[in-house]
Structure 1
Amino acid sequence: MEPAATVVALVRSAHPGPALAVTVLAVALAVSADLSGGRVALVAGAVAAGQLSVGWSNDLIDRHRDRQVGRSDKPLATGALSATLTARACAIAVAATVVLSLLCGLVAGVVHLGCVAVAWAYNLGLKSTPFSWLPYALAFGGLPVFVELADPGAGPPPLWMPVSAALLGVGAHLVNALPDLADDEATGVRGLPHRLGPRRTRWLAVAVLVLASVVIVLGSAAVPVWLVVVVLTAVAGLGVVALVADGRTPFQAAIGIALADAVMLVAGR
């Protein structure tokens, strides 16, 4: 395979969308916390490396299931990417995650490594249990704690930040699972969304994401009033759309609520 095609396949297998979204959120939190440029770079590198390891390990572990259901968007399932190369890339990402996380400080590094570890636990089996939501809650909830502690001498963030981030993570899990419920069930994955079914998963996702918005508004005095009004109006409208629309529109509306929550989480710092 041509080197360029291999690189493209590696990027596709790393779940680039979620990896980029989480990294951008971490950077935005770091900038809003007034971390130095060097610290922001370390946070970005640690989170990006961790997300790459999570994405690659997910596709490595699931490659046989993905092949079974004909996932043409998965390079490991189609044969466009070798498992050996992906495993090597994943190992490098893990090593980078450990080094970069600990360079952010011992306590901060341990927190971030814990976030990555629970994400791996999801890949390794928790995704098929009623507790599939828990790794998302812990990993997202730990992200603002890691960023805050990456500032030397800083203490943990106010409680509303990890709580709202954890709710955002649970909502992201429910939303992310919606398009793949049928394929997952066909290969034995029975996480919380699969047990609830599409309709109840949609309702719970909207409820959790709206609750995250409420926690941010009640917990932070830093969010400008105009932004609160704009975001909550948008969240309410998107919530209605997510509950009554058909097709992929509810999925897209829930993603919109999650993005609005992320904006307020950063603004509320």
Structure 2
Amino acid sequence: MPATAAEARTPPSPVAGLLGACHPLPTAAVTLFAAALAAAVGRALPGAALCVAAVAAGQLSVGWCNDRADLRRDLATGRIDKPLVAGTVTPSAVTAAALGALLLCVPLSLAGGPLAGAVHLTGVAAAWAYNLRLKSTAASWLPYALAFGLLPAYVTLGLPGAPWPPPWLTAAAALLGAGAHFANVLPDIEDDLATGVAGLPQRLGLRRSAALAGLLVLGSTAALVVGPPGPVSPYGWALLAVTTAPALLAGGRLGGRFPFHATLAVAGADVALLLAELR
């Protein structure tokens, strides 16, 4: 049955607008990575659940903060794919959601212990600093590398004895985070420059940033493959070979969100390797 005129004019739910403004794909990906890592290192269920909840709250706060901070630029470039520009959610609602998620993230993070909590909150603070200031500087890559690099430490520091993760795991996560930054920015470089955003990818340009994104993701996989003690598994060599192809292709002028989605796909394969390594 066709929709009536009244139904056709029914605005989307504000809840749907909030969900769209939180950057749902990367939020879900980082949260799932934390859950997989918590399971791999043997976190008990209550502690693992709190860990995952803290990461989810932190990621939600970062996503909402990002869309709210970018509202002026998104309006200027006509980003109607953004809920705030499309009018499906109000700026005040996104601001309240970002602050609420951030406040919730604090006790959830500290529930894993003061050191673990401080590490996670440092990563969340780095992401907020990116949104509010650093994305327009040559240090735009640093918050991504720091936040991703600290995530494994947050998970392992909640274990008995509060152990730090091995250096190869921290390096792999930091390289993946930096690569995700370059890949995520690629489709928006021209719009960013037009609205005054001059982070490192914008300064390097599309072609060099695409190549660097591929190399960083490849470096992340290499750290996971050769970093752990013992012989490299056949899966590890295969993953490294498969990752090399998109890393080389990234030097071309790939459009759209393909580089970022490819980075997420490689991250998923990296998580599978990581689970095998830590078991």
TM-score (norm 1): 0.93
Q: Determine if the alignment matches structure 1 residue 27 to structure 2 residue 39.
A: no
Structure 1 residue aligned with 2:147: 139
Change (3 A) 1:246 1:81: closer
Higher mean C-alpha deviation, range 254-263 or range 164-173:
254-263
**Equivalent of 2:200, from 167, 180, 192?**
192
Indicate which of 167, 170, 185 corresponds to 1:177: 185
The residue that corresponds to 2:248 in the other structure is 240
Task: Tell me the distance in 2 between the aligned counterparts of 1:16 and 1:124.
Answer: 20
Go from structure 1 to structure 2 and tell me whether the alpha carbon gap of 1:128 and 1:244 turns closer, same or farther (over 3 Å shift). Answer: closer
Note if 1:259 corresponds to 2:271.
no
Gaps of 5+ in 1: none
Q: Return the offset for 1:40.
A: 1.1
Match of residue 74, structure 2, among 66, 69, 92 = 66
The number of residues matched between the two structures is: 269
What is residue 105 of structure 1 aligned with on the other side?
A: 113
Match of 2:22 in 1: 14
Name the counterpart of 2:226.
Answer: 218
In our comparison, the structure showing a higher alpha carbon Rg is: 2
Give me the CA root mean square deviation.
2.0
Unaligned runs of 5+ in 2: 1-8
CA distance in 1, matches of 2:40, 2:130: 30
Q: Within 1, Cα distance between the matches of 2:205 and 2:159?
A: 42
User: Shift in Å at residue 50 of structure 1?
Assistant: 0.2
Residue number in structure 1 paired with 2:100: 92
Whole-angstrom distance in 2 between the partners of 1:91 and 1:55: 11
The 1:129–1:262 alpha-carbon spacing in structure 2 relative to 1, beyond 3 Å, is farther
Shift of 1:11: 0.2
Cα pair 1:168 1:261 within 8 Å, conserved: no
Q: Quick one: which of 168, 185, 196 aligns to 1:160?
A: 168
How far 1:229 sits from its partner (Å)? 2.3
Instruction: For residue 161 of structure 1, give the secondary structure of its aligned residue in structure 2.
Output: helix
The 1-side partners of 2:60 and 2:275 are apart by 23
**1:209–1:261: 8 Å Cα contact kept in structure 2?**
no
